[in-house]
């Protein structure tokens, strides 16, 4: 394994440090081991006791050896500030760190010159195609797929920061751009993903990361931890890619400035142009009551959630997040009378606030209710209106959901071929997000259309495709649904 930071490459196996110009730096093995411990814990406090235990575990030494190694590291990097000292506690590595699999040892090529020649040819051919991609105008430097911002782990005691877990996550999501190449999963959908992955929203650790990648199809996961004390905050972050990870830490006396700094770091990773900085943030999630209501919903306790959300909406009807979650909760409780009144209140607020994402979601609920009432003509007009808005803002998830509703409307009118075309279109939007649940569900719906058309071959083919995706990604609920349909 090797680590890159401040234009230096540190190789864990060779205990070596190489500068950006390829020169091997002079560093003692113990000092390099200490550096590696700091790099592996970027943004986190590493105590002196931990350093002694990990680096000098076979020797009896005093703390002076740590001071000497820290001094050597600062001299090597030519910057005293790369390591923050917390008196009587320990040290924190501050710069960004990229973790990568170490390349082959050069001795392999010395022993096998033909292998070296082969790999050289492959690299030339690969370089040719990469250049052609650029000549053809492909945006190879822009990350593709879906981006999942995870709840922020709050390590600050007291109720004043209870909003951080979901609030900071939601603020980051709001500041990220919509894009034709990737999709930013919105907060409530991230919570659905975590529920599928059986990952607790208040304590997501590394053992959950692979599962979240599998069930979400994400290309990038963003994990954050807020620590420190009020007006002396530090936000450590990890960007999880499928084959690498980047870590860093940010400091500020203001949580909003931390959000701005983190968003700038994410923009750099995405290869997207940063949006103009704004001091305006939705603060819908900065509520302890809303957090409790979400916990109830995640545990399917919709009655308890209803009471809290109703109180929130009465106190602040401008909180569109609470409005939408309240409406969704009313759907689950089949309280349609209250639901219709709430939609009448929430939709004009979303339009007045010029909030396209919330307006799309509220319209989606309105369409569902109209279809329940068999008001298909009105429902279809609203679907087209909401889809146009979703397309304009690259809201891939709701482009998929709304196209799914188009397919449902086509089925009610007996236009089965059109419905199948809509389900294939739905699948294409889920594929932008690389969402296995959405793609699997689209195949299931295509199978159901084939069943209505008495096309056993297409039905079997579609269910098989759905099942393969569900098996590969460990989607147990999808598998159960497919097996139930096959048994019918």
pLDDT tens per residue across span 165-174: 888 888 888 8
94-97 CB contacts, 8 Å cutoff, 24+ apart? 94/42, 94/43, 94/248, 94/249, 95/5, 95/6, 95/42, 95/248, 96/5, 96/42, 96/246, 96/247, 96/248, 96/265, 97/3, 97/4, 97/5, 97/39, 97/42, 97/246, 97/247, 97/248
User: Are 362 and 414 found together in one domain?
Assistant: yes
Q: Which domain holds residue 236?
A: 145-270
User: Are 320 and 401 found together in one domain?
Assistant: yes
Least confidently predicted of 18-27, 109-118, 174-183, 362-371: 109-118
Average pLDDT over residues 455-482: 90
Residue 405 pLDDT greater than 90, yes or no: yes
User: Are 349 and 482 found together in one domain?
Assistant: yes
The answer as to whether 455 is a domain residue is: yes
User: Are 241 and 303 found together in one domain?
Assistant: no
Q: How far apart are CA 288 and CA 299, in angstroms?
A: 17
The answer as to whether 281 is a domain residue is: no
User: Are 460 and 333 found together in one domain?
Assistant: yes
pLDDT tens per residue across span 71-93: 889 989 888 789 988 888 889 99
The answer as to whether 102 is a domain residue is: no
User: Are 337 and 475 found together in one domain?
Assistant: yes
The answer as to whether 107 is a domain residue is: no
Domain holding 332: CATH number?
A: 1.25.40.10
Q: pTM value?
A: 0.66
Q: How far apart are CA 274 and CA 267, in angstroms?
A: 6
User: Are 314 and 376 found together in one domain?
Assistant: yes
The answer as to whether 101 is a domain residue is: no
Average pLDDT in the chain: 83
**So what's the pLDDT on residue 122?**
45
Residue 356 pLDDT greater than 60, yes or no: yes
| pLDDT band, residue 444 (cuts 50/70/90) | very high
User: Are 356 and 464 found together in one domain?
Assistant: yes
Of 71, 95, 119, the one marking the end of a domain is 95
Residue 185 pLDDT greater than 90, yes or no: no
User: Are 164 and 266 found together in one domain?
Assistant: yes
The answer as to whether 254 is a domain residue is: yes
| pLDDT band, residue 348 (cuts 50/70/90) | very high
pLDDT tens per residue across span 267-306: 888 876 655 444 444 556 666 788 788 878 878 899 999 9
User: Are 402 and 296 found together in one domain?
Assistant: yes
pLDDT tens per residue across span 408-432: 999 999 999 999 999 999 999 988 8
User: Are 328 and 257 found together in one domain?
Assistant: no
User: Are 328 and 356 found together in one domain?
Assistant: yes
| pLDDT band, residue 103 (cuts 50/70/90) | low
| pLDDT band, residue 132 (cuts 50/70/90) | very low
Higher pLDDT, 302 or 158: 302
Q: How far apart are CA 437 and CA 361, in angstroms?
A: 19
**So what's the pLDDT on residue 378?**
96
Into how many domains does the chain fold?
Answer: 3
**So what's the pLDDT on residue 310?**
94
The answer as to whether 318 is a domain residue is: yes
Residue 433 pLDDT greater than 90, yes or no: no
Dihedral of CA atoms 351, 353, 357, 361 in degrees, nearest 10, equals -50
Higher pLDDT, 195 or 58: 195
Domain holding 237: CATH number?
A: 3.40.50.10610
Of 218, 244, 270, the one marking the end of a domain is 270
Q: How far apart are CA 204 and CA 16, in angstroms?
A: 33
Of 244, 270, 296, the one marking the end of a domain is 270
The answer as to whether 335 is a domain residue is: yes
**Are 17 and 10 contacting, i.e. CB atoms less than 8 angstroms apart?**
yes
């Amino acid at each position: 394994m090797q680590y890159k930071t401040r234009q230096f490459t540190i190789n864990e196996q060779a205990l070596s440090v190489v500068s950006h110009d390829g020169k091997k730096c002079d560093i003692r093995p113990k000092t390099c081991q200490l550096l590696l411990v700091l790099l592996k814990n970027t943004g986190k406090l590493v105590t002196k006791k931990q350093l002694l235990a990990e680096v000098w575990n076979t020797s009896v030494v005093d703390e002076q050896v740590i001071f000497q190694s820290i001094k050597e590291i600062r001299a090597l990097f030519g910057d005293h500030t790369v390591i923050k000292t917390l008196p009587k506690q320990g040290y924190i590595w501050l710069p960004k760190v990229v973790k990568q699999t170490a390349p082959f040892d050069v001795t392999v090529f010395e022993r096998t010159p033909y292998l070296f020649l082969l790999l050289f040819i492959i690299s030339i051919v690969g370089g040719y195609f990469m250049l052609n991609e650029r000549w053809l105008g492909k945006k190879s430097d822009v990350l593709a797929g879906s981006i999942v911002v995870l709840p922020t782990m709050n390590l600050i005691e007291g109720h004043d920061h209870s909003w951080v877990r979901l609030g900071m996550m939601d603020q980051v999501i709001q500041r990220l751009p919509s894009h034709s190449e990737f999709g930013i999963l919105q907060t409530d959908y991230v919570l659905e993903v975590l529920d599928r992955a059986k990952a607790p929203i208040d304590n997501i650790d590394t053992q959950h990361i692979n599962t979240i990648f599998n069930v979400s199809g994400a290309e990038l996961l963003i994990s954050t931890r807020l620590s420190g004390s009020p007006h002396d905050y530090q936000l450590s972050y990890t960007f999880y890619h499928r084959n690498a990870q980047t870590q860093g830490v940010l400091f500020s006396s203001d949580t909003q400035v931390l959000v701005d700094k983190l968003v700038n770091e994410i923009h750099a990773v995405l290869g997207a142009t940063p949006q103009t900085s704004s001091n305006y943030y939705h603060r819908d999630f900065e509520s302890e009551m809303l957090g409790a209501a979400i916990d109830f919903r995640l545990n399917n306790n919709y009655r308890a959630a209803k009471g809290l959300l109703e109180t929130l909406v009465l106190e602040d009807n401008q909180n569109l997040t609470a409005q939408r979650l309240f409406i969704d909760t009313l759907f689950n409780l089949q309280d349609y009378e209250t639901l219709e009144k709430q939609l009448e209140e929430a939709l004009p607020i979303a339009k007045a606030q010029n909030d396209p994402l919330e307006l799309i979601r509220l319209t989606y609920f309105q369409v569902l209710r109209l279809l329940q009432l068999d008001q298909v003509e009105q429902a279809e007009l609203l679907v087209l209106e909401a889809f146009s808005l979703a397309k304009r803002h690259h809201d891939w998830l709701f482009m998929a959901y709304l196209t799914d509703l188009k397919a449902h409307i086509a089925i009610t009118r007996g236009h089965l071929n059109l419905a199948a075309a809509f389900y294939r279109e739905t699948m294409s939007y889920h594929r932008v997000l690389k969402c296995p649940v959405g793609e699997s569900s689209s195949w299931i719906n295509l199978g159901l259309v084939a069943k209505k058309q008495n096309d056993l071959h297409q039905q079997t083919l579609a269910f098989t495709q759905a099942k393969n995706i569900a098996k590969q990604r460990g989607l147990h609920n999808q598998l159960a649904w497919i097996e139930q349909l096959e048994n019918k």
